[in-house]
Amino acid sequence: MPDYQSWVSDPAFLVVVSGPSGVGKSSLCHAVCSSDSRVCYSVSATTRPIRPDEADGRDYLFVGPEEFAQMREAGELAEWAEVHAAWYGTPRRFLDEQMAAGRTVILDLDVQGGLAIKRAYPDAVLIFVLPPSLDVLERRLRGRRTDREDVVSRRIAAAPAEIEHAASYDYVVVNGEFEAAAARVRSIVTAERSRRERCYRPALPDSR
């Protein structure tokens, strides 16, 4: 009798969460990680200044422009992009090591980075997070009081163009009520673990 359980694996893959600045991407990523031990958060490298509520190595790897350029030239980054006058990139080694260990890696990336990851890792899952409205997004950006007014204005102005890229993503989640949005992202991760193309490997018939 075949052992059907042995035909189904527990796959490791990448999950990219994108959306306009202030939509709650990083909070959703951390909520998924805190509720699922098989999911870990990818810490990006960035040249932007650290915010008061952030920690180096937890939220981002904060590096200078010269160090970032060295990482890029050495092929250490799986993707990189300039966003809102700062550079962001994803260390490749961390992704590969975590997936080799059987973990799903969730990444908080802008649209450029998300699509670059999809090209480098075709089986990555892309989730686009929308705000309930642009008015709500603006209130959230201004309410967190972490950026200068010119930075906030630039991010608000960029949001409509960023939202147009949602059509290139696999899933769309509206972050109106946070716990409901987090539950949707968790359900996507759970469903993708059972996608046939990822997990189902029937044993070959015994030719004896």
Q: In the chain, how many domains are there?
A: 1
Does residue 138 lie in a domain region? yes
Does residue 97 lie in a domain region? no
- Give residues with Cβ within 8 angstroms of 133, minimum separation 6: none
Does residue 82 lie in a domain region? no
The pLDDT tens digits along the chain (208 residues) read 788 888 998 899 999 999 998 899 999 999 999 999 999 999 889 999 998 888 998 889 999 999 999 999 999 999 998 887 899 999 999 999 999 999 999 999 989 899 999 999 999 999 999 999 999 998 888 887 667 778 788 888 889 999 999 999 999 999 999 999 999 999 999 999 999 999 898 886 664 4
Does residue 107 lie in a domain region? yes
Does residue 181 lie in a domain region? yes
Q: Are 93 and 71 in contact (CB under 8 A)?
A: no
Structural domain for 178, as ranges: 4-42+102-197
Determine the pLDDT at residue 92: 94
How far is CA 181 from each of CA 68, 105, 144, rounded to the nearest angstrom?
33, 19, 19
Check which CATH number belongs to the domain holding 166 and give it.
Answer: 3.40.50.300
Does residue 49 lie in a domain region? no
Q: Are 193 and 10 in contact (CB under 8 A)?
A: yes
Does residue 77 lie in a domain region? no
